[in-house]
Amino acid sequence: MKLKLVFAAATALCLGIGAAIAADEPQVVRQEMMKKVGGAMGAIGAIAKGEKPFDAEVIKASLETMAEVGKTFPDQFPAGSETGMDSEAAPAIWANMEDFKAKAAALVTAAEGQLAQLPTDQAGVGAVMKAVGSTCGACHETYRLKK
């Protein structure tokens, strides 16, 4: 009985450590970052489409998330992290790191530009989506694998 408990505790510890290591992998970190950006885009999109009521705070928070992620996203592509953990990163990233960084900077610029002139009603949200949305596609086209 006691032995069983010790074994269970040891197993739990191992699992815990395994999860911690996996969460630190750049492939996981960058996918989490993009999930956040995707969520932010979804929140803006829902307002633009009229599915959710206009809320300037939601727009602001979403744009802040995008700007924040855009600044550190390119740091999550060290050599050796090209594949694994279901990554959809294209090999072109490592061949064109400067251009990849420029595409991330374009997202930051677009998000910060929109933050500087936040819409005051639902009618203005479409323009926000367009401004940031074009930078998503511009990067994904070349640097995200279609799976």
Q: Which residues bind ligand HEC (CB under 6 A)?
A: 27, 30-31, 34-35, 37-38, 41, 66, 73, 87-89, 100, 103-104, 107, 132, 135-136, 139-140, 143-144
Minimum CB distance to ligand HEC, residue 138 (Å) = 7
Whole-number Å distance between alpha carbons of 38 and 109: 17
Pick from 143, 137, 141, 145: which is nearest to 38 by CA?
137
39 vs 50 by CB, closer to ligand HEC: 39
Minimum CB distance to ligand HEC, residue 91 (Å) = 11
Residues 6+ away with beta carbon under 8 Å from 127 = 119
Structure tokens at 97: 């790191």
Residue with the two structure tokens 């990554």? 87
Whole-number Å distance between alpha carbons of 10 and 8: 5
4 vs 147 by CB, closer to ligand HEC: 147
8 vs 48 by CB, closer to ligand HEC: 48
Minimum CB distance to ligand HEC, residue 86 (Å) = 7
